[in-house]
Amino acid sequence: MPTIRFMFKQLGKHFDQFLMGVLMLTMTVALLVLFSASGQSMDRMSAQMVNIIAGLAALWVFANIPPQHLQRIAVPLYLLGMVLLIGVFFFGDVSKGARRWLDLGVARIQPSELMKIAVPMMLAWYFDRRDQSLRFSDYIVAAILLMLPLGLVLKQPDLGTSLLIGASGFYVLFLAGLSWRLMGGLALGAAAAAPFLWNMLHDYQRRRIEILLDPTQDPLGAGYHTIQATIALGSGGLSGKGWLNGTQSQLDFLPERHTDFIFAVFGEEFGLVGNLLLLLLFAIIIGRGMMIAANGQNAFCRLLAGSIALTFFTYAFVNMGMVSGILPVVGVPLPLISYGGTSLVTLMIGFGILMSIQTHKKLVTS
Amino acid sequence: MNSRFELRNHRQEQHYFRLRLGVAGVVMLICFGILAARFVHLQLLRYDYYHTLAENNRISLVPIAPTRGLIMDRNGVVLAHNFFAYTLEITPAKVKDLEQTINDIATLVEVSPSDRKRFKKLREQSHEFESIPLRMQLSETEAARFAVSRYRFPGVEIRSRLFRHYPQGPLGAHLIGYIGRINDSDQQSLKKSGEFPNYLGSDHIGKSGVEQFYERTLHGITGTQQVETDADGHAVRVLSSTAPVAGDNLVLSIDSKLQDIAEKAFGVRRGALVALDPNTGQVLAYVSMPTFDPNLFVNGIDPDSWKALNESLDKPLINRPLRGIYPPGSTFKPFVALAGLEAGRREPPFSISDPGFYKLAGSSHRYRDWKPGGHGIVDMRKAITVSCDTFFYGLAHELGIERMSDFIGHFSFGKKTGIDLTGELGGLLPTPAWKKKRFKQPWYPGETLIVGIGQGYTLTTPMQLAQATAILANNGIAYRPRLVSGIQPGGSGKLRPVTPEVLDRIKLDPKHVELVKLGMMDVTQPGGTASSVGAGAPYLIAAKTGTAQVVGIKQNEKYNEKNVAERHRDHALFIAYAPAESPKIALAVIVENGGHGGSAAGPIARQVMDYYLLGKEPPAPPPEASPNAAPPAEEETDAHD
């Protein structure tokens, strides 16, 4: 018995128990919502449980890799990601009008997912090395390191993922001390460049932004998602229609209700109270991530952890914003809750890295 | 020293990092605050609005059409009823290649060329998303055969529907009328009258006859079902429902046996007959010949049948009793006679010596009597009996057109009788004012003479003639003519009789009425213009014959029926009531191009009265007399006109 207990203790040695608890709670809620959103499909439930187990395994693996090892693999991982992205650019499979997947013979992978981790790691590695005094040229280099993968993902096209990659890279730059003046200048520049960017967007992306401004333009077409999701949320009221009782969800009025629009199901069935509690859960997860970042051992750890926590925030904000109709519809799932293995595993790797940073501290200092 | 610096630097760096992290944290809280505000906005402040939208999404109201009321005759014989049958219907908007789909369907279920034509016509009149019937009344086998292959035909459906059927076929088609599919103009008038919601589940509406006039009574109240539907419009469950209320049944005063005898009596001849109960205004028979099968119209008539009916020279679609307008001819004389007597003219023992023509003072024009040489000494009673034109020329001249038309107007000439049917025409009772307006010409005295014998501008419908006869038979009491004698509410089943409605009580001197009636009774006696009609009748018939000119005859030209094309021959008219002492039936008959009233129209009236008063049916089916054939020899004894 003691051996088994010891084994468990060893196994969970690099778990951050608080974060782990909140994550497990969130994923339990996720399973409940998924059950409702999938029309009470046990198949979807078991598939998502497999995804969760895979995610937890990935989390465990990364939690057990000491940060200095992560620091060492940052560059090779980034280079590998770049090679794969270029591979996608030339040889990727096209599905639903986008070139996102690469068939390696043994498995089909989505290299842009890898970049969600590899980009912040790479930038954290870069700023950790240059932490004495940052010059303007450092930001130029970092910007190039960020823009290369970002451009390739945008080209696929995958607005949602490139948004998250861009955010994760930007957070590293911001936390590393990107000067306010420069950010102000960039913001101004972006505003000035907006008309040109508008022209560069794909038609469907432009349409999404137009529909955001006025969904009733096309109530049965592009605006349908937003309108039905808003109706679902609004009709949920204060306390919701109750689990499995959402009419918008159960009667198929909500499209993509178990993936990107699962939050509408949640909001319809659990109401304002449920929504605020979910926001609180997310805030706790982000807050814990920020605490870990604040106590990070070195610049690499701090920057990486901070970026992971803030990227998680971006996920949640963009998804909830788009479902509730204040942001355009971009393909960003609700973190930990939307159905799907790929994004869940990536997220869990992020949390694994956070836990590794939190639990390997003493080893480094001693 | 180096490590101290690094440590200090490290602390500073960490401090700076935390500052930045704090800024990010504040931004995050602001963003979550925005989300929370948005949730409050959607879920608290605008909850009612979105709740309504969600309910509208999920709940749809499905109308349930009520069962249309039955139509029965006075003895309970069903004239219109409903039955369930399968139809094969196509929603064109949901079908890619319509032609191909119909061809494919034809391999499973018989689709005749007329089905195709009718479908094509209906499609032109409907919206693309309406379900249009291709085939009606599928057999169970056909329905089953199609059901098996249904998956191959998106947009094609088998439906069980209530069909209207007229089991008597063409019998009384003009009075029963028919229902047809609701078209755009029906829809508009329903919307105008606010009845449209009650028709959401209905495809059909009354288009003519009693079916049209009593549409509101027959239709019933549409029920509704509140159904929860999913995004594809499939019903998930029924939330609540209100049952439809069936339409009321109508009991007509028509006797379908009498109607049948009357229609058969016409044979292949064209014409109209209206028989009324003078004591109530109830319509006993209402004949328009030739007739047609109203069943053809219920689900949209196929173009071939339509063409045949619409282009026939016999005009079977015209509702003759209501909309056929004819000069009344000599059937007008009893009313002119009464006008004269009431005006104090021609009261016995007044009489004239008839030379066979009438001349206005200061004119050489001879207004001829139908009988060359005249009728000898003629008083009022004889004038009616022999239909003396000369007598009435003089009377009309003395009365003047205005006094004459004014009095006769009380007998529903020149105005609608108010029968419970739509589309009635009022005919024409001419006056100088009318002529001035119509032709911008003055009234000439000679025209008054012509009106006095029922020719000229005067026009009446058979309905008006029958009503005038009934009013006379009833000594001036006018009842509104009614086809419906009772209404049986859809639910309760208790018959509510329709009470007769008195329209007018004309003040008449009974002596004058009696005199006119005596003249009319003599018409069917030996020496009268319709003596053969009264021959052998165990009851007394009061009648008047009439002939209406179709083509004008020039002065000094003799009308020779043998030389006149069939369709240019005179119309034969006949009005009668019986038993003369206490009338139970009053009627008017018109046989188009039939020649003389007594010989062509009289026998039809006799058969109708015989059945109604004695229950006597005509001995054998009437001979299929060609309209060109001369009248039967025995009726040659009848005097002209």
Give percent of chain B with pLDDT exceeding 90: 56
Instruction: Give the tens place of pLDDT for each residue, B388-423.
Output: 999 999 999 999 999 999 999 999 999 999 999 999
A338 touches chain B (CB under 8 A): no
A252 touches chain B (CB under 8 A): yes
Which residues, 6+ apart, have CB-to-CB distance to A357 below 8 Å? A67, A292, A293, A296, A297, A301, A304, A305
Question: Is the complex ipTM more than 0.85?
Answer: yes
> How far off is chain B from A277, nearest CA to CA, in Å?
10
- Token readout for A350 is 């992020």
> How far off is chain A from B94, nearest CA to CA, in Å?
18
> How far off is chain A from B59, nearest CA to CA, in Å?
10
Question: What average pLDDT does range B371-395 have in this prediction?
Answer: 92
More confident residue, A306 or A14: A306
Q: How confident is the model at residue A174 (pLDDT cuts 50, 70, 90)?
A: very high
Instruction: Give the tens place of pLDDT for each residue, B558-617.
Output: 555 555 677 778 899 999 999 999 999 999 999 999 888 778 899 999 999 999 999 988
CB contact under 8 A, A174 and B58: no
* Chain B residue at shortest CA distance from A239: B43
Residue B467 contacts residue B228 (beta carbons within 8 Å): no
Question: What average pLDDT does range A245-262 have in this prediction?
Answer: 88
The residues facing B250 across adjacent strands are B71, B487
CB contact under 8 A, A238 and B18: no
Residue with tokens 């009377």: B395
Q: How confident is the model at residue B628 (pLDDT cuts 50, 70, 90)?
A: very low
CB contact under 8 A, A234 and B32: no
Looking at every residue in chain B, the average pLDDT score rounds to: 88
Looking at every residue in chain A, the average pLDDT score rounds to: 88
Give the containing element (helix H, strand E) for A346: helix A341-359
CB contact under 8 A, A253 and B58: yes
Using a CB-CB cut-off of 8 Å, the residues of chain B touching A293 are 17, 21
Amino acid at A239: S
More confident residue, B270 or B361: B270
> How far off is chain A from B154, nearest CA to CA, in Å?
21
Give percent of chain A with pLDDT exceeding 70: 94
Residue B319 contacts residue B288 (beta carbons within 8 Å): yes
Question: What average pLDDT does range B219-232 have in this prediction?
Answer: 86
Looking at residue B62, the DSSP 8-state letter turns out to be E
pLDDT at B492 over 80: no
Instruction: Give the tens place of pLDDT for each residue, A227-242.
Output: 899 999 999 999 999 9
Looking at residue B558, the DSSP 8-state letter turns out to be P
Using a CB-CB cut-off of 8 Å, the residues of chain A touching B44 are 237-238, 272
CB contact under 8 A, A271 and B20: no
Residue with tokens 């101004």: A188
Residue B431 contacts residue B405 (beta carbons within 8 Å): yes
* Chain B residue at shortest CA distance from A275: B39
Instruction: Give the tens place of pLDDT for each residue, A271-299.
Output: 999 999 999 999 999 999 999 999 998 89
CB contact under 8 A, A290 and B24: yes
CB contact under 8 A, A238 and B47: yes
Lateral strand order in the sheet of B271-276:
B283-289, B271-276, B585-591, B571-578, B542-548
Lowest mean pLDDT among A98-107, B26-35, B54-63, B366-375: A98-107
More confident residue, A130 or A335: A335
d(CA B123, CA A227): 35
Q: How confident is the model at residue B184 (pLDDT cuts 50, 70, 90)?
A: confident
CB contact under 8 A, B21 and A251: no
The residues facing B591 across adjacent strands are B271, B572
pLDDT at A9 over 70: yes
Residue B73 contacts residue B96 (beta carbons within 8 Å): no
Looking at residue B205, the DSSP 8-state letter turns out to be E
Lowest mean pLDDT among A26-40, A67-81, A199-213, B138-152: A199-213
More confident residue, B19 or A134: B19
Mutation for testing the B interface, residue in A235, A249, A280, A361 having most B CBs under 10 Å: A235
Q: How far is CA B32 from the centre of its chain?
A: 72
A315 touches chain B (CB under 8 A): no
Task: Identify the burial level of B511 via C-beta atoms within 10 angstroms of its C-beta, where 0-12 means exposed, 13-18 middle and 19 or more buried.
Answer: exposed
Give the per-residue pLDDT at A13. 85
Q: Is the dihedral of CA A365, B2, B8, B13 positive or negative?
A: negative
Looking at residue B527, the DSSP 8-state letter turns out to be T
Measured between CB atoms, which of B17, B42, B236 is closest to A230? B42
Instruction: Give the three-state DSSP class for A86.
Output: helix
Question: What average pLDDT does range A114-135 have in this prediction?
Answer: 86
> How far off is chain A from B37, nearest CA to CA, in Å?
10
Using a CB-CB cut-off of 8 Å, the residues of chain A touching B9 are 132
- Active-site residue, from B126, B253, B288, B330: B330
Instruction: Give the tens place of pLDDT for each residue, B507-538.
Output: 999 999 999 999 999 999 998 889 999 988 99
pLDDT at B68 over 90: yes
Q: How confident is the model at residue B224 (pLDDT cuts 50, 70, 90)?
A: confident
More confident residue, A318 or B153: A318
Using a CB-CB cut-off of 8 Å, the residues of chain B touching A235 are 47, 50-51, 53-55
A276 touches chain B (CB under 8 A): yes
Question: What average pLDDT does range B477-489 have in this prediction?
Answer: 94
Q: How confident is the model at residue A2 (pLDDT cuts 50, 70, 90)?
A: low
Residue B51 contacts residue A235 (beta carbons within 8 Å): yes
CB contact under 8 A, B20 and A232: no
Q: How confident is the model at residue B625 (pLDDT cuts 50, 70, 90)?
A: very low
Does the pTM exceed 0.80? no
d(CA A58, CA A41): 26
Instruction: Provide the CB-side half-sphere exposure for A12 (13 A, CA).
Output: 11
A275 touches chain B (CB under 8 A): yes
A306 touches chain B (CB under 8 A): yes
> How far off is chain A from B46, nearest CA to CA, in Å?
7
Strand pairing class (B71-72; B78-90): antiparallel
Using a CB-CB cut-off of 8 Å, the residues of chain A touching B43 are 233-234, 236-238, 267, 271-272, 275
Number of H helices, E strands in chain A: 15, 3
Give the containing element (helix H, strand E) for B148: helix B140-148
> How far off is chain A from B229, nearest CA to CA, in Å?
7
- What DSSP letter does each residue of A173-203 carry, written as one string? HHHTT--HHHHHHHHHHHHHHHHHHHHHS-H
More confident residue, A188 or A213: A188
A174 touches chain B (CB under 8 A): yes
Measured between CB atoms, which of A238, A251, A294 is closest to B21? A294
CA angle A91–A92–A98, rounded 5-degree value? 140
A320 touches chain B (CB under 8 A): yes
Q: How confident is the model at residue B639 (pLDDT cuts 50, 70, 90)?
A: very low
Lowest mean pLDDT among A89-98, B180-189, B300-309, B414-423: A89-98
Give the per-residue pLDDT at B3. 47
Instruction: Give the tens place of pLDDT for each residue, B116-165.
Output: 888 888 888 777 777 888 888 888 888 888 888 888 888 888 888 888 99
Measured between CB atoms, which of A132, A230, A310 is closest to B50? A230
> How far off is chain A from B64, nearest CA to CA, in Å?
24
Give the per-residue pLDDT at B634. 37
Instruction: Give the three-state DSSP class for B282.
Output: strand
pLDDT at B7 over 80: no
- What DSSP letter does each residue of A247-313 carry, written as one string? HHHHTT-STTTTTTTHHHHHHHHHHHHHHHHHHHHHHHHHHHHHHHHHT-SSHHHHHHHHHHHHHHH
Give the per-residue pLDDT at B563. 54
Residue B369 contacts residue B390 (beta carbons within 8 Å): yes
Mutation for testing the B interface, residue in A251, A269, A323 having most B CBs under 10 Å: A251
Buried b (16+ CB within 10 A) or exposed e, B326-363: bbbbbbbbbbbbbbbbbbebbbeeebbebebbbebeee
pLDDT at B629 over 50: no
pLDDT at A38 over 60: yes
Q: Is the dihedral of CA B92, B96, B102, B107 positive or negative?
A: negative
Residue B180 contacts residue B164 (beta carbons within 8 Å): no
pLDDT at B241 over 70: yes
CB atoms inside a 10 Å sphere around CB B107: 10
Looking at residue B238, the DSSP 8-state letter turns out to be E
Residue with tokens 């963009």: A318
Give the per-residue pLDDT at B425. 93
CB contact under 8 A, A175 and B31: no
CB contact under 8 A, B230 and A238: no
Q: Please report the residues numbered 2 through 41 in chain A whose beta carbons come closer than 8 angstroms to any beta carbon of chain B.
A: none
CB contact under 8 A, B54 and A247: yes
CB contact under 8 A, A247 and B58: yes
Q: How confident is the model at residue B499 (pLDDT cuts 50, 70, 90)?
A: very high
Residue B233 contacts residue B470 (beta carbons within 8 Å): no
A266 touches chain B (CB under 8 A): no
Measured between CB atoms, which of B14, B17, B43 is closest to A272? B43
Q: Is B330 considered catalytic here?
A: yes
> How far off is chain A from B53, nearest CA to CA, in Å?
7
pLDDT at A148 over 80: yes
CB contact under 8 A, A290 and B25: yes
Give the per-residue pLDDT at B621. 55
* Chain B residue at shortest CA distance from A173: B20
Q: How many CB pairs below 8 A link A and B?
A: 126
Measured between CB atoms, which of B9, B40, B57 is closest to A253? B57
Number of H helices, E strands in chain B: 22, 23
CB contact under 8 A, B28 and A174: no
